[in-house]
């Protein structure tokens, strides 16, 4: 049975508000607002050319975007990491529609700045039947103009909550990609984009499937 991801996220947010101290919630919202007002993480847009890349998958094999595009369109989604509950909900939701994506002769690629070991962990955790890649140091996310710097006060909140993002990513810059999903046509052109500064705001995977059908 396919669940509604956005409803699941909203339910999580409501529970989060009941448990998290108000001061921490305010700081987290401030970080989102500051990012929205900045020039960081705006992302490439529909009609632009997607940069080619080579990244390792969970088993260390290299995947090249433009080689994959020779087989059909690619749904490309950037997520923050295993530690992010919203990312986990999104990845599970994509697994529920992966048959429909493959049915459109397309492939799904999920990218995070985590190490390959962490990518393996999340792929096994959710039994993901799609490609999960490691973009260490956010090199590819930077090419897609998705990277932003976490403010120090937010880093402090994460650390106090036991979220050691630096250990997941194998480096300590505390830079992350904004949540973003693209549909890339076989010619490398971005046919659809959904990029949000608010990491809680994700496009429903069923919507991505409908958009994918439009370009096929």
Q: How many CA atoms lie within 13 A of 12 on its CB side?
A: 15
CA distance 124 to 118: 10
Residue 78 structural domain:
5-215
CA distance 34 to 32: 5
113 neighbors 39 (Cβ within 8 angstroms): no
Domains identified in the chain, total number = 1
Tell me the helix, strand and coil percentages in the chain, rounded to 5: 45, 20, 35
For residue range 118-162, list pLDDT tens digits in order.
887 778 877 899 999 999 999 999 999 999 999 999 999 999 988
138 neighbors 38 (Cβ within 8 angstroms): no
**CATH code (residue 131):** 3.40.30.10
Q: To the nearest whole percent, how much of the chain has pLDDT over 70? A: 99
For residue range 58-106, list pLDDT tens digits in order.
888 999 999 999 999 999 999 999 899 999 999 999 999 999 999 999 9
């Amino acid at each position: 049975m396919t669940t509604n991801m956005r409803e699941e996220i909203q339910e999580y947010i409501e529970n989060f508000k009941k448990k998290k101290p108000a001061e921490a919630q305010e700081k987290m919202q401030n970080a989102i607002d500051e990012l929205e007002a900045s020039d960081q993480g705006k992302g490439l847009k529909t009609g632009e050319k997607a940069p080619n890349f080579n990244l390792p998958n969970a088993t260390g094999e290299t995947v090249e975007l433009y080689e994959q595009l020779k087989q059909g369109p690619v749904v490309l989604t950037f997520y923050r990491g295993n530690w992010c509950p919203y990312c986990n909900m999104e990845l599970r939701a994509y697994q529920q529609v992966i048959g429909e994506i493959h049915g459109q002769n397309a492939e799904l690629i999920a990218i995070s700045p985590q190490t390959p070991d962490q990518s393996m962990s999340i792929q096994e955790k959710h039994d993901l039947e799609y490609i999960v890649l490691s973009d260490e140091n956010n090199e590819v996310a930077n090419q897609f103009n998705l990277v932003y710097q976490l403010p120090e006060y937010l880093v402090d909140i994460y650390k106090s909550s036991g979220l050691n993002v630096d250990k997941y990513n194998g480096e300590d810059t505390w830079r992350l990609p904004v949540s973003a999903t693209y549909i890339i046509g076989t010619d490398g052109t971005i046919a659809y984009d959904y990029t949000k500064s608010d990491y809680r705001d994700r496009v429903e995977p069923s919507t991505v499937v409908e958009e994918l059908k439009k370009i096929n």
